[in-house]
Amino acid sequence: MLTAILTVVGLILLTIGIVWLIDKFVPRKAKPILNLLLWGLIIFLGYLTFNSVYGEIKFNQLKEKRYAVVIESLKDIRDAEMAHRTVTGKFTDNFDALVKFVDTAKFTITQRRDTTVIDEELTRRFGGVETTKDIVIIDTLGYVPVKDSLFGADTRYKTMMNVPVGKAGAKFELKAGKLPEDDIPVFEASVDKEIILFDQPKNLINKEKQVVAVDGVNGPALTVGSMTEVYTKGNWPKSYNAKKED
């Protein structure tokens, strides 16, 4: 945007210089028409400059609003996936299975306690001299539905696969698997920025997809999780977590 603005400003200054030269050297009879044309050009270039700046301001405001809504959906997907791993030991790449899991699965509530018991093997080894050892006992106290724990009475998880703003009918892409070298479960949910901003100017969308900044959403998509490393956070900056803690 800065290059375009500087270019337009340069043209405006050049036009003003031409107006001055005309006023100084062009015959009086021709001046009114030329001056009128040139001032019209200056006004037009000023209008282009204003539109260039204001258009990008409006784009950024819209982008931030849409990103905020999409990020909340990505957080829901992440929470459901993390619960799925806690209960089953793995992530899933199927939204139908994930919704069914939230509907039916339960967290096990446990309690750990330390206790001391007789170590029978050592007792025998020491000729009947009573020997003890410390152990940890895990008691099951009950079960809590995943749905109630994550979403309460809200049923938004049933549509968490749908991108909530942007191109109609779009869905998040969901992947899951394991890191080959460590056999550790991983997942990734994402949506291309072009889907979120589909009705905006193409040049601004292309520029946004190339963003690399501390306070921006880097890369061509909004993403949570990763298929290449153990990472369950999103690629958005902390400013998007102002309303809800990440």
pLDDT in tens, 84-121: 999 999 999 999 999 999 999 997 775 777 878 787 78
In this predicted structure, what is the pLDDT of residue 111? 72
Closest to 94 measured CA to CA, from 21, 168, 177, 30: 177
In this predicted structure, what is the pLDDT of residue 114? 80
In this predicted structure, what is the pLDDT of residue 244? 46
Closest to 151 measured CA to CA, from 84, 218, 80: 80
Region at 225 (left for phi over 0; alpha for psi -120 to 50; beta for the rest)? left
Amino acid, res. 137: I
How far, CA to CA in Å, does 120 sit from each of 113, 125, 130? 21, 9, 8
In this predicted structure, what is the pLDDT of residue 98? 97
pLDDT above 90 for 69: yes
Comparing 31-40, 55-64, 144-153, 168-177, the range with the smallest average pLDDT is 31-40
In this predicted structure, what is the pLDDT of residue 82? 96
How far, CA to CA in Å, does 134 sit from each of 103, 113, 116, 121, 137? 40, 11, 4, 14, 10
In this predicted structure, what is the pLDDT of residue 44? 72
